[in-house]
Amino acid sequence: MSQGSRDGSSSDQGIDTEYHDPATSSRSPRGNIEPPPEDMTHYRLLAHYSILVLASMAGCLIRLGLTAMGTYAGASIFPIAWSQGVGCAIMGLALARKKELTFWPPIFTFWTTGIAASITTFSTWMEEGYLAFANFNGYRRSGFYDVSRF
């Protein structure tokens, strides 16, 4: 490894180590790059949203399957616990392997925000809330009917 010239630039390695003051220099700092064009940003957002929709649907189906498998007579644990455990395990593995998964950013979104978040119980809680407000079971609810029992 050579030392380079007195002015601080290393000519044999092709690396510019000379100091450039950002306030006085017309060159941009080494770490800054030009932002991507507007259409490229839209394509990235489209990729993120598309993969997020697909992952959310897959996660919902996985959650429903795990809940169905955990629902049986004499179950010692409530069925949503299996979904919660699998969702947390996927999230933990994805966060532990973040560097390997960020070679294409939408794939990290696929595993964490899409699959893992759709499997966990918050999704089930939202579904149960929707089903309660939609009143698919046909319960008679008028005024304070449910609250009056307390």
pLDDT above 90 covers a percentage of the chain that reads 20
Residue 13 lies in a domain: no
Residue 92 lies in a domain: yes
Per-residue pLDDT at 21 exceeds 60: no
Q: Which of 79-93, 100-114, 126-140 has the lowest mean pLDDT?
A: 126-140
Per-residue exposure over 46-75, b if at least 16 CB sit within 10 Å of its own CB, e if not: eebeebbeebbeebbebbeebbeeeeeeee
Residue 130, domain extent: 80-135
CA distances from 123 to 8, 21, 61, 94 (A): 58, 52, 11, 19
Residue 45 lies in a domain: no
Per-residue pLDDT at 149 exceeds 60: no
Per-residue pLDDT at 84 exceeds 80: yes
* Domains of the chain: total: 1
